[in-house]
Structure 1
Amino acid sequence: MSVSELPAVASRIDKKLADIDARVDWLYYLSPCDNDGMWQRFQESDYTVNPVMWYPEIPDNFCEIKEALQNLPIDDVEDPSLHALFYEKRMELELQVDLVMMRESRGFMAISVELFGEAEPSLVHSARQILNEVPIVSGPASDANCADIVTAADKEINAYRAEVPDMASRVEVMEDLNSMMMVHHGHLKVAQSVKLPSARISPLIAHEVGTHVVTRYNGRCQPIQLLEHGLAHYDPLQEGLGTLAEYLAGYLPPRRLRVIAARVIATELALKRQSVKEIFHELHDEYHLPAEDAFDVAVRACRGGGLTKDSVYLRGLRELLAYLADGGDIEFLFLGKFAMGQRMLIKELLNQGWLLPPRIIPHHLRGERGRERVKQVRNVKLEQLFQLEPML
């Protein structure tokens, strides 16, 4: 399928915004260091001493990024759809710079709410319903480690690379990571200390590679470069697609759905200036989250001074299920990284010939099994989105 070139001014603005987006890397500067050490010291204190968080050093010239953003001539972009997307992205990047510069200050939380929203009452209600209704089960033993994940992830990426040889993603093992695994700048990073049930490897790879790597690759194939890096507020849809991928790949256990719900409760408590210790005890004592899960969720909610980003996982999943229940096309959502609220603009640009359909579709959506599971999930309620046993 042929695609039209963007107007010269729009193309220049798009490239500059994409370049700046790669420089901001706000999550890196808000991710605490020595996560394993924090957990060990918290255990040794019998869960009584709040952890001390320290972060990567912020470059002296970081705030100069805002000046570069403000100098972009976005008003020279004539197409209204492109102008809207670029203007919205510039505003988001300016807020991300402010978020980093306000780290550990009282103004941090207000900027976080502006960027990621808060734990709104309807979302808190959904989270509590999940925590109260979804069963507490231990699940299979953690019999897999980092090497097992790396082997499986390499195999998955190589399978995609057989179809699209220019996919440049790789797997990297990290000594200190805020999560078991994550995609950063298109590469899968895996925590060296990770241990998990082997039945969870394929679903988590469907989340990280089948969603985040695939949408980034498809975005890189688009004339609009920002679809590789992410248009404004793309996180809820990305994380909704990623979590749903775990279900479609055959194993989203109750514990996983409960953790995602607990992140909303932790966000609500962080907005009330509750500490890591206080949030931990609410999640562990009242909602019976395993201690390590409760600590991880609490730390994530308090990082930087109260980061509300973790509320997007449940919000994005809820929006995605509503979209699918209404008959929405799931494959369309993989053409790049954008927000659910931007889908009409994206469709308009697609119809105008300035965008392409997804070049590759995730493995978990393919074949008869993939189509059947998508069909089934269109009728699944949020609190029902879990599997007691692997269905791989």
Structure 2
Amino acid sequence: MSHALDPAAQEADAALFAIETEIDWLSAVSPTGNHDRWTAFVGSEYRAAPALTYAPHATDFDALRGRLTELPLDDIEHPLIELLLREKRSELQRQIDLVALRGKDGFIQASVALFGAPDAVLLRQAREILENVPVVADPSDPVGAGEIAVAALAARDVYKKADPDFDFGVFVEADINSALMVNHGTLWIDADTKVPRDRVGALIAHEVGTHVVTRQNGRRQPLKQMETGLPDYDPLQEGLATLAEWLAGCLPPQRLRVLAARVVAADMAIAGRSLEEVFTCLHETHSITRHAAFDTAVRALRGGGLTKDAVYLEGLVDLLAWLGEGHDIAPLYAGKFALSQLPTISKLTEEGFLLPPALLPTHLTGEGCAARLDAARTTPITEFYSKDLT
């Protein structure tokens, strides 16, 4: 039996949804001119990179903060829903602080408050990966953004057969700070992206099969935060997305090494290291390719030091440990939430306030996926890569 949210919960939920869209912290802290910056860095013989620059933003932070304080949270009837929405309000306040401090002193502290910092255990795991996972060159036969977009649209058609309401935009744009990314349900592909042909399916599983599918399932939920993301949802999302690459049969060792390098880079950003110092460490000490080391350094230093990239490895480690306990993976696709919130999500689903996932990713049912999922439950993180790609 389903239950509707009470009016105060509906009002607060809708307002939080709208405010998060307006903040759009990811776009706000994404540097512009990255391709020119790389060219200049190469021209300096990898010694000096131009300063990071950003698109202007005109967000009225005080107005957003005022709207957050006016939410009728005290009037929400269900205590678990009230708790989730209170935590979401706090997270949005931290997002506002992050954007307001872009390029200023205090940004790194705002990032740590929002995304956390790598702890000693995660740093040790990252360094073990960099020391033990083999360095393997990418295979030849690369494909570009156009072919990736075609594959994404083909995946969309497959999912639409299972759910006619399934939809998302696909855009190829220059200078988007990532080879591929989903932002607010839209897939963006950098115009200069080139990836090995064998990686395309895994990337689609990551972006569409995880980020878009969970958003689509979240869109069906009475609680709109399941679409945009409950507090601290990033680690589980990125853990599921990286696992999707493994389940799709193409998680190369160099991909795992880059995720580990992101943890090292985040730690160096907190320590106040420069972009050039991060690049040198990743390339010369850890054998990350020059372009990947530069990209990782830029991502870690954007805004003044963004620790978000450490959650990829953190989320993967936590997810693998959870799977190792024998849990069913399907409930994790009901929307965007943190692994620690699963008991709350399950209880609200049992009570009829939330729905189980209507759509599961195709990488859970393809040939060999079941065996790869079983293997994931027992594979150490230093061996979590596709061995047939070495």
TM-score range, shorter chain: over 0.9
Tell me if structure 1 keeps the 8 A contact 2:130–2:257: yes
Corresponding residue number in structure 2 for 1:71? 70
The 5 A counterparts of 1:86-97 are: 86-97=85-96
Corresponding residue number in structure 2 for 1:163? 162
Corresponding residue number in structure 2 for 1:38? 37
Unaligned runs of 5+ in 1: none
Superposition deviation, residue 385 in structure 1:
0.7
- 1:183 aligns to what SS in structure 2? strand
Corresponding residue number in structure 1 for 2:218? 219
CA distance in 2, matches of 1:191, 1:103: 23
TM-score (norm. length: structure 1): 0.97
CA distance in 1, matches of 2:167, 2:161: 12
AA aligned opposite 1:304 = G
Greater Cα shift, 11-20 or 271-280? 11-20
AA aligned opposite 2:201 = S
CA distance in 2, matches of 1:31, 1:63: 22
Tell me if structure 2 keeps the 8 A contact 1:63–1:97: no
Query: Deviations 1:258-294 (Å, cap 9, x if unpaired)?
Result: 0000000001111110000000000000001000000
CA distance in 1, matches of 2:140, 2:227: 37
Greater Cα shift, 66-75 or 24-33? 66-75
Find runs of 4+ consecutive structure 1 residues off by over 4 angstroms.
none
Tell me if structure 1 keeps the 8 A contact 2:262–2:310: yes
CA distance in 2, matches of 1:112, 1:264: 14
CA distance in 2, matches of 1:157, 1:390: 27
Tell me if structure 1 keeps the 8 A contact 2:115–2:308: yes
Corresponding residue number in structure 1 for 2:286? 287
- 1:337 aligns to what SS in structure 2? coil
Corresponding residue number in structure 2 for 1:11? 10
Change (3 A) 1:129 1:87: same
Superposition deviation, residue 373 in structure 1:
1.8
Corresponding residue number in structure 2 for 1:309? 308
Q: How many residues align?
A: 390
TM-score (norm. length: structure 2): 0.98
CA distance in 2, matches of 1:87, 1:203: 36
Superposition deviation, residue 20 in structure 1:
1.0
Unaligned runs of 5+ in 2: none
Corresponding residue number in structure 2 for 1:300? 299
Superposition deviation, residue 115 in structure 1:
0.7
Corresponding residue number in structure 2 for 1:104? 103
Matched, 1:364 2:343: no
Corresponding residue number in structure 2 for 1:330? 329
CA distance in 2, matches of 1:142, 1:305: 37
Query: Deviations 1:119-165 (Å, cap 9, x if unpaired)?
Result: 11110000000000000011312521111101111100111012211
CA distance in 1, matches of 2:204, 2:141: 16
AA aligned opposite 2:49 = N
- 1:188 aligns to what SS in structure 2? strand
AA aligned opposite 2:239 = G
Tell me if structure 1 keeps the 8 A contact 2:323–2:329: yes
The 5 A counterparts of 1:1-392 are: 3-367=2-366, 369-389=368-388
Query: Deviations 1:8-36 (Å, cap 9, x if unpaired)?
Result: 21111111111111111001010000111
Q: How large is the Cα RMSD of the aligned pairs?
A: 1.3
AA aligned opposite 2:48 = V
Tell me if structure 2 keeps the 8 A contact 1:69–1:90: yes
CA distance in 2, matches of 1:318, 1:153: 27
CA distance in 2, matches of 1:60, 1:222: 29
Tell me if structure 1 keeps the 8 A contact 2:156–2:167: no
Superposition deviation, residue 371 in structure 1:
2.2
Superposition deviation, residue 44 in structure 1:
0.5
